[in-house]
Amino acid sequence: MDEEKTVDEKQAKRLPLSLYGLSPQDISTVLELQKPYQGRQIWDWLVKGATSFEQMTNLSLAERHRLQESMPAFVSSSIQSSQIDETGATKLAIRLHDGKIVECVMLSDKEGRKTACLSSQVGCAMGCAFCRTGTMGLSRNLAAEEIIEQFMHLKTLGEITHIVFMGMGEPMANFGAVTRAIRYFHEPAGLDISLRRITISTCGVVPGIFKLAEQKLGVRLAVSLVTADNMQRDRLMPVNKAWPLEELRKALIRYQHAVGKRFTFEYCMIHAVNTDEKSARKLAQYIRDLDVMINLIPWNPAAELPWETPTTQEIDEFTNMLDRLRVPYTRRFSRGRDINGACGQLAVPLNTGK
Ligand code: SF4
């Protein structure tokens, strides 16, 4: 009840739900600060992860009290629960201001990279047949501040070096909020995450790839391909009916020319579905003339879905075929699988919302 009251009070006063994502000038305006430089001071504290005005010790005590009273909570979401697996992957369930839940994951690797896997939507409308999030349907888009706050919650676990938009939702279907959040992450005076360390992953929403090419945002692009056979892709990924493989290819060639960067295809390997010789040959043919790296990811189990993870032998045979066909690939090992935090495993009941 208290949380709902705070939201209502903010709306009555026309305060934003969060200070994250606002510029120093906007912070000055919404908080009615007397001295313009205080907007920058507060912005700096937010970047450091401050959660209350009390922590902002370069503001006068009187000002801190005034701000605390006028906006008791300036973060719109909170950590509802946290799970960690033996690889060190940590999944957070984040409770949003309207009671809905999204999940985000922190992944660590041996090279010391800490990657924040962020969600862009509550649920997803794309309905990929191999993905748990796809079973939820779409509840709503996330606002940029809600995306930024996921990062800030994960940042309490350690310094983040990389960001991937591979959590819940299709980032291209919420392009404005995602790019606003990216600009915040990249701001040199703030979090200063290099654009080369940020990846947007799409299931193949062609207009989004064109937009990315036009805007030359500088982030990395990953496309979930799964199969290079149109009929099979239609069945596994409904997005293919709107933008079949030929359309996707045209968009990727445009992207490549505009941005001049290698992109990746995510190839989720599903037992006895897309790991045979025909699949390897189609893949080799499809990537001809594309500057692409294939990320091979074994399907991560989800009890409610009818697929199986390929065996090690099956993966070995598939990669041998790719070697013979000179397909460049990297073999990924799933992290976060035991906590349902790996690729395609994120899902929460939608009825947790109002
Ligand atoms: Fe949505 Fe991505 Fe899952 Fe497809 S794979 S249903 S786009 S979250």
Dist. CA 99 → ligand 1 center (Å): 22
Residues with Cβ within 8 Å of 102's Cβ and at least 6 positions away in sequence, in order, are 93, 94, 96, 119, 122, 142, 146, 150, 167, 168, 348
117 labelled catalytic: no
Domain ranges of the chain: 2-70, 78-339
Residue-level pLDDT at 333:
74
103 labelled catalytic: yes
User: Average pLDDT for consecutive 10-residue bins of the chain (354 residues)?
Assistant: 54 77 94 93 95 95 95 94 91 96 93 94 96 93 97 96 96 97 95 96 97 91 97 98 98 93 94 98 96 95 91 97 97 72 64 36
Pocket probe mutation, ligand 1, options 104, 119, 133, 235, max atoms within 8 Å of Cβ: 133
**pLDDT tens string 192-210:** 999 999 999 999 999 999 9
* CATH value of 78-339 in 3.20.20.70, 3.40.50.10680, 3.30.450.80, 3.40.50.1000: 3.20.20.70
Residue-level pLDDT at 260:
87
Helix or strand (DSSP H, E) at 200: strand 198-202
Residue-level pLDDT at 336:
67
Closest Cα partner for 82 from 133, 185, 154?
154
- Is pTM beyond 0.85? Reply is yes
- 2-70 and 78-339 share one CATH topology? no
Beta pairing, strands 162-165 & 198-202: parallel
- CA dist 195 and 215 (Å) reads 13
Strand order across the beta sheet in which 101-108 lies: 78-84, 90-95, 101-108, 114-117, 162-165, 198-202, 220-224, 263-269, 292-298, 329-331
For domain 2-70, is the CATH number 1.10.8? no
Residue-level pLDDT at 16:
85
Residue-level pLDDT at 30:
94
Residue-level pLDDT at 349:
57
Residue-level pLDDT at 334:
66
Dist. CA 140 → ligand 1 center (Å): 14
**Residue nearest (by alpha carbon) to ligand 1 atom 8:** 169
**pLDDT tens string 242-275:** 999 999 999 999 999 998 889 999 999 999 999 9
The two structure tokens encoding residue 167: 């959590």
Residue-level pLDDT at 353:
33
